């Protein structure tokens, strides 16, 4: 039985390619068809719409940009949810907010479709190399059923709780991903203005006790100023919006994260939306260059 994969952007195209490479039959769909071409060449089968695709698979992965896209693809006029077979599993790997995920889980359950939320940690390179980490929320058996697929696309899968807990954990993680680069950028901007070379600051701070280890991965981007997107800044802005929305729903005050959200928006307004989110470094340093 083939597997379905909907959403072939930076992440989804690489995740699906790994499933294909591992020998699975793939049914694919994407809003803009051109992005599917490499996969089609590799043997995946194009479906004209989500509804059509749903009829041909038991396991359907989605990897989409935001809740609105997920909702449209799942529940829209040619959505897949009304067309999946009972007991099929919908695995949503999109980064969306937990309350939305729980609503999707409920929609799935209404139709006797099983649901697992499984957002990922990792961007373009880990996606390509099958080194993602999945945070899975849902039934134990369902996560177990999916484990072989997760292990092709990733290096680890962590079952963090019931429906929505994968999405919940992703909120926590992305808050940290975004904020770590913001505070590091503020620190380096200050350090440079005080007369330290960027190189010295990187050497002293990265891999040290005061910097999250993942920041070292971004060092080449910080250094050469080429912020080709592994994960576009505009999506990080969206994720911080979802974090703020979730915090509102839960009554959690996030004073600095809400400010970081606005800084990402300012950077997006300044034209950095399609750059890697690490370009926030550039945005926060720019005032001190001239």
Q: Which of residues 116-135 bind a copy of itself (CB under 8 A)?
A: none
Total residues interacting with a copy of itself, rule: CB under 8 A? 70
For a copy of itself, give the closer residue by CB, 31 or 192.
192
- Is residue 121 within a helix (H) or strand (E), and if so which, with residue range? strand 120-121
Piece of the chain touching a copy of itself by CB under 8 A; list 44-52, 88-96, 212-220, 224-232:
212-220
Please report how close the Cβ of residue 242 comes to a copy of itself at its closest, in angstroms. 10
The token pair that represents 273 in the structure block? 């939306």
For a copy of itself, give the closer residue by CB, 118 or 260.
260
Q: Per CB under 8 A, does 51 bind a copy of itself? A: no
Instruction: Identify how many contiguous H helices and E strands the chain contains and give both numbers.
Output: 13, 9
Q: Are 125 and 229 spatial neighbours (Cβ–Cβ below 8 Å)?
A: no
Q: 20, 102, 170, 238: which one is catalytic?
A: 170
Q: Per CB under 8 A, does 262 bind a copy of itself? A: yes
The only residue of 148, 213, 220, 225 in contact with a copy of itself, by rule CB under 8 A: 213
Piece of the chain touching a copy of itself by CB under 8 A; list 34-42, 48-56, 73-81, 254-262:
254-262
For a copy of itself, give the closer residue by CB, 19 or 74.
74
Q: Per CB under 8 A, does 278 bind a copy of itself? A: no
Distance CA 233, CA 239 (A): 10
Distance CA 90, CA 137 (A): 12
Gyration radius from the chain CA atoms = 20
Q: CA-CA-CA-CA torsion for 208, 210, 216, 220, nearest 10 degrees?
A: -100
Q: Which of 108, 102, 106 is nearest to 80 (CA)?
A: 108
For a copy of itself, give the closer residue by CB, 2 or 76.
76
Distance CA 284, CA 82 (A): 46
Q: Per CB under 8 A, does 38 bind a copy of itself? A: no
Distance CA 15, CA 278 (A): 22
Q: Per CB under 8 A, does 250 bind a copy of itself? A: yes
170 is catalytic: yes
Distance CA 281, CA 227 (A): 10
- The total number of residues shown for the chain amounts to 290
In a 13 Å sphere around the CA of 26, the CA atoms on its Cβ side amount to: 32
Please report how close the Cβ of residue 273 comes to a copy of itself at its closest, in angstroms. 10
Please work out, in degrees rounded to the nearest 5, the angle formed at the alpha carbon of residue 6 by the alpha carbons of 174 and 105.
65
Q: Which of 39, 32, 34, 38 is nearest to 5 (CA)?
A: 39
Q: Which of residues 89-118 bind a copy of itself (CB under 8 A)?
A: 98
Q: Which of residues 149-208 bind a copy of itself (CB under 8 A)?
A: 158, 160-161, 165, 168-169, 171-173, 175-177, 179-180, 182-184, 186-191, 193-196, 200-201, 204-205, 208
For a copy of itself, give the closer residue by CB, 42 or 210.
210
Given the rule CB under 8 A, which residues bind a copy of itself? Answer: 98, 158, 160-161, 165, 168-169, 171-173, 175-177, 179-180, 182-184, 186-191, 193-196, 200-201, 204-205, 208-214, 241, 243-248, 250-263, 265-266, 268-270, 284, 286-288, 290
Catalytic residues: 170
């Amino acid at each position: 039985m083939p597997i379905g994969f909907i959403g072939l952007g930076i992440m989804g195209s690489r995740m699906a390619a790994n499933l294909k490479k591992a020998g699975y039959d793939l049914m694919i769909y994407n809003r803009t068809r051109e992005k599917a071409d490499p996969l089609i060449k590799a043997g995946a089968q194009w479906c004209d719409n989500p509804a059509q695709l749903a009829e041909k698979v038991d396991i359907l992965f989605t990897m989409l940009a935001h809740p609105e896209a997920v909702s449209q693809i799942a529940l829209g006029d040619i959505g897949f949810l009304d067309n999946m077979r009972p007991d099929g599993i919908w695995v949503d790997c999109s980064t969306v907010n937990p309350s939305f995920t729980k609503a999707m889980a409920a929609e799935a359950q209404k139709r006797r479709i099983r649901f697992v939320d499984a957002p990922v940690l990792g961007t373009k390179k880990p996606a390509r190399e099958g080194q993602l980490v999945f945070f899975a929320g849902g039934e134990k058996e369902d996560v177990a059923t999916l484990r072989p697929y997760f292990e092709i696309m990733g290096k680890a899968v962590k079952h963090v709780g019931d429906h929505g807990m994968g999405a919940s954990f992703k909120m926590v993680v992305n808050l940290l991903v975004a904020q770590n680069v913001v505070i590091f950028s503020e620190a380096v901007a200050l350090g440079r203005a005080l007369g330290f070379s960027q190189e010295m600051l990187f050497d002293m701070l990265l891999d040290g006790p005061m910097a999250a280890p993942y920041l070292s991965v971004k060092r080449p981007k910080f250094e050469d100023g080429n912020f080709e997107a592994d994960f576009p800044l505009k999506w990080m802005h969206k994720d911080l919006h979802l974090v703020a929305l979730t915090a509102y729903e839960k009554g959690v005050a996030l004073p600095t994260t809400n400010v970081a959200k606005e800084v990402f928006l300012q950077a997006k307004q300044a034209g950095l939306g399609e750059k890697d989110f690490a370009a926030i470094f550039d945005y926060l340093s720019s005032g001190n260059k001239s």
